[in-house]
A = this chain, B = another copy of it.
């Protein structure tokens, strides 16, 4: 009868306890259409009258990342880490340098490129991260936005 049935089982399978804080954090991330910083998550929870400590937020995010329920990313000109629920598998990011809006891109143009590089470099390539930067439609023209 839970709305978090989806990840509830993944938590259990990974040996992580299914605490109210963990579920709350996951709920926040699932509902967000943008990767969020730890503090944003903390503040969102606070608004929902959920009392939680920043340490717990960080520790929870770390656990969730380890079991691959969420992804941690860092974008240019933001020294904080951002966290995103893994709705889809492989993904990339298109970041607006004006308003910092982040669009998640699901298709990946690098399929064969990794193979090429492997033979060129003797690396065993495990994966990659791709960030594209630009101005979203709202931020074109007036290019003086902050966040």
Interface of A toward B, CB cutoff 8 Å: 74, 76, 94, 96-97, 103, 105, 109-110, 113-114, 117-118, 121-137, 140
Contact = CB atoms under 8 A, between A and B. Distances in A.
Contact of A109 (B97, B110, B135, B137): B110
B121 A94 contact: yes
A129 B131 contact: yes
A130 B133 contact: no
Given A94-B117, A105-B117, A110-B109, A132 B125 contact: yes
20 contacts: A74-B74, A94-B123, A96-B123, A103-B121, A103-B123, A109-B113, A110-B130, A114-B132, A123-B132, A124-B135, A124-B140, A125-B132, A125-B134, A126-B133, A126-B134, A128-B130, A128-B133, A129-B129, A129-B133, A130-B130
A90 to B, nearest CB: 13
Contacts of A125: 94, 132-134
A140 B124 CA distance: 7
Contacts of A136: 121-123
A125 B131 CA distance: 11
Query: Sorted from nearest, which 3 A-B pairs have the closest CB atoms?
Result: A125-B134, A122-B137, A128-B132
Contact of A123 (B110, B122, B128, B135): B135
